[in-house]
Chains A and B, each alone.
Chain A
């Protein structure tokens, strides 16, 4: 039986030492993200949004507190275990797409599948499906430098979903796109949430994002304020 919560943060604190100072990002933060949630996290620079995303994705480590995924603790996993957990459960989307310039779109999307035991044919099928979902089947053999920003971001989304992870973590996914393209990308995310049940967390400055997400959290100096989405 699947746990009702994708993520649960309990009393999470994140501090780091810079020179002689100790900087506190979070001190005893609690957060529940139910399965199937589509949440935007907003806040001023330095509020800790990206750090929060990194903690959720196991890219960064808590100083104290617990992080549970599907009811099981992930903050105690080793690096190798985290790698495996990420490969199976999480897809990342970054502001600057972060595609491999030496690989074609299809090859970029195929990358996460190299970590699985799937054979070549299956991999190719999954890649085609993912590219079709983001509407870029005709760009499969193009290189990133031959595509616009919006197209590259869609390839990145295809890469993030090709292993069918439960969760998508997005760091400023529309930060580098114009309004129209940004809306396209957000539309795809909404589709993935509504029709494929993916839990999506978006860290963003873009106020328009709130129109697509189920709820918006505002983070300020490491503390939350929740505002429910309209409609």
Chain B
């Protein structure tokens, strides 16, 4: 036996009580893990976006169109590397309430601006040459069980076809992956020329330009140059890094980070009180034993560290369980809900952060009982019932 065993034994003294405290701690850290992962996934697009990528949209609002010739004009600006454009299609497959992440894009320049996209060479060729070709990210393809060569009808809730057909017919030419930004694997990409010739309105107009610069340091000046180019024209622009653009968009949904922080703080406050009080009670029940240990010669500081070890053990054990289960739950959710991709998973940062909080929790809940046990006078302890 050693002092560690003594600590463990003290926890097993009242098994039900220890179990209940573990449950409370487990719940708090499960919530911490799950909510922080959600928050992280939610903001992931802000950090994942490549640092050298800029986005140009209509200054009035990004839902307003830009003339397609802007792409060529931006290409001429010094510091700009590759330029592409895209328009939101508003497409859905069978269920109008479930939108696809679908854009009309120019294939060759799109692949140049997003070099991390991986596509088999013959699929790439098909997409670049076939008019009704569709390139589908592998997550969406898996979700709908689509394969290369399938013919898929997709409807749009924004655009109508000139020929009056209700649905747009596509041939799936390519299924791609993007190891750098796995959220991109949710996209469905049609060809812009296909889109442009069939729509009843909005011809030769695009939602946004996306381009890369030759160096991050130039981002600011290039952005200003692009906007200056179109100032005082009919469609004035505003250019930002992709990350900033994503951040502003995410912020429109609400201050998610604040909500997560508040909920997690509430959970921690609740268990702090519960565990703290239970520990005080548990130590008080052992008053006489503590007195006896002191008569045996155990120092006050040793008793203090024993009790702190108890509260730390409890906190870390509960936290580990909570974080592990949260990791599992988050993985399941991430697999089944489109749109998050690999961002919906437990990160080492969140895990380690959780353990850090566990240590703090253990110290805070154990502080008062440990301190009073240390200061307990032997004569009083032995005399107390």
Contacts and interface: CB of A to CB of B under 8 A. Distances in A.
Contacts of B293: 111
Interface stretch (B8-16, B168-176, B360-368): B8-16
Interface string A109-139: 0111011000000000000000000000000
Interface in B295-345: 295-301
B27 to A, nearest CB: 27
Interface in B343-385: 378-379, 382
B296 A60 contact: no
Interface in A34-92: 54, 57, 59-60, 79-80, 83-88, 90, 92
A94 B12 contact: no
Given A59-B378, A60-B379, A102 B299 contact: no
B3 interface: yes
Given A94-B292, A114-B2, A102 B297 contact: no
A114 B10 contact: no
B16 to A, nearest CB: 15
Interface residues of A, number: 27
- Please tell me the size bucket of the interface on B: 20 to 34
A87 B299 CA distance: 10
A54 to B, nearest CB: 5
A166 interface: no
Given A94-B382, A103-B1, A110-B1, A86 B9 contact: no
Contact of A115 (B9, B298, B378, B379): B298
B296 A107 contact: no
A90 B298 CA distance: 13
A100 interface: yes
Interface of B is mostly: helix
A102 B9 contact: yes
Contact of A111 (B10, B13, B296, B378): B296
Given A79-B300, A110-B1, A100 B295 contact: no
B193 interface: no
Interface of A is mostly: helix
A102 B13 contact: yes
A115 B297 contact: yes
Contacts of B297: 83-88, 112, 115
A114 B292 contact: no
Choose among B297, B299, B378 the residue with the greatest number of A CB atoms under 10 Å from its CB: B297
A98 interface: yes
A102 B2 contact: no
B151 interface: no
Nearest to B297: A87
Contacts of B5: 107
A59 B296 contact: no
Interface string A133-165: 000000000000000000000000001000000
Contacts of B300: 79-80, 83
A92 B294 CA distance: 11
A86 B295 contact: yes
B138 interface: no
A60 B294 CA distance: 12
Contacts of A103: 1, 6, 9
Given A54-B379, A59-B379, A94-B382, A102 B296 contact: no
Given A59-B379, A100-B289, A110-B1, A92 B296 contact: yes
Given A59-B378, A102-B12, A115 B296 contact: yes
Contacts of A102: 9-10, 12-13
Contacts of B296: 86-87, 92, 111-112, 115, 159
Given A83-B294, A94-B292, A102-B10, 19 more contacts: A54-B379, A57-B295, A80-B300, A80-B301, A83-B297, A83-B298, A83-B300, A85-B297, A87-B296, A87-B298, A88-B297, A92-B292, A92-B296, A102-B13, A103-B9, A107-B1, A107-B5, A111-B296, A115-B296
11 contacts: A54-B378, A57-B295, A79-B299, A80-B299, A83-B294, A92-B292, A100-B292, A110-B1, A112-B296, A114-B1, A114-B3
**A-B CB proximity, top 6 nearest:** A87-B297, A102-B9, A59-B378, A98-B292, A86-B297, A83-B299
